Amino acid sequence: MSSNFSLTSSLQPPASSLSPADMRRDYCRGILEKSALQDDPLQQFHVWFQEAFICQGVIEANTMVLSTTSHDLQITSRTVLLKGYDQAGFRFFTNSTSTKGKQIAENPRVALLFYWHALERQVHINGTVIVLPRIETEKYFQSRPRQSQLAAWASHQSTPLASREELEECFKKIETRFENKIVPTPDFWNGYLVEPYSIEFWQGRNNRLHDRFRYMKKENASWKMERLNP
C-alpha cells in the first residue's frame, strides 16, 4: 500500500496556525522582591509550595523534573513526584535499576525543576543525592496503594518491552504471586534525598524582565542570596 505521508510536510503547521516562534505570553501574576523572601530557602520553598498546593490552576504541585547525568555525561530528564521535604532536602522514591537510578549511582549531582504555570513560578534546585535509610523506604512503600505496590514489582523500569500485553501479563502474575499477602518492598526500590546546594526562585514578569533570586550554600551551612539577571 502506498502512502502520501511526508515527514517534511507533516512538520509544517497549517497556514492558519501559529508558529512556536511567534507564540507570545506576558507574565503578570506577581512580583518577587528580596524583602519578601525568607532567609532560609527551604522555608521559602515551603511558602511557595503551600501556595501552589491550594492554587486551583496547579495540578499536582509536587510534580518535579529530575535531571541526572551518567559517568559519560549523558543527560536525561523525567517527571517524578516529590514525596517529602524538610531542612535536609527533597525526597522521592524510585526503582534503583531504572535509568535515573543507575545515573544517580554513577553521579549523585542532580537538578530538580518545579514549574507552577498557573502562578508563573519556577523553582530550580541543584543538589547531591543520598540514598535514604531502608526503614524510610519500607515505611513509604507500605503506605502506597496496593496496585501501585504491585506495579513496582511488575515493571522492569527503563528496559525494553515487547508489547503492552507483556506488561499486563506480568502484572497479573504479580497479583497472583502476592494474592492475600502483604506486598513486600522490592530490594531494587529505594528512597532518595536531594541535599540542595543551590535553590533559585523565579517569578515571571512582563517584557521578559523576570525576577530571579538564587540561594547558594556556604561552607558554614548558611545561605547566600543574590538577585540574578533574567
**Catalytic site positions:** 208
- Cell of residue 103, nine digits: 545515573
- Measure Cα distances from 154 to 11, 126, 129 in Å: 37, 32, 26
CB 83 within 8 A of CB 132: no
Q: What CA–CA distance (Å, rounded) separates 98 from 104?
A: 10
Q: What CA–CA distance (Å, rounded) separates 150 from 153?
A: 5
Q: Over 163-192, what HEC string results?
A: CHHHHHHHHHHHHHHCCCCCCCCCCCEEEE
DSSP 26-80: ---S----GGGS-SSHHHHHHHHHHHHHH-TT-S-TTEEEEEEE-TT--EEEEEE
Q: What CA–CA distance (Å, rounded) separates 191 from 96?
A: 9
Q: Would you tell me how many other CB atoms lie within 10 Å of the CB of residue 46?
A: 15
CB 44 within 8 A of CB 201: yes
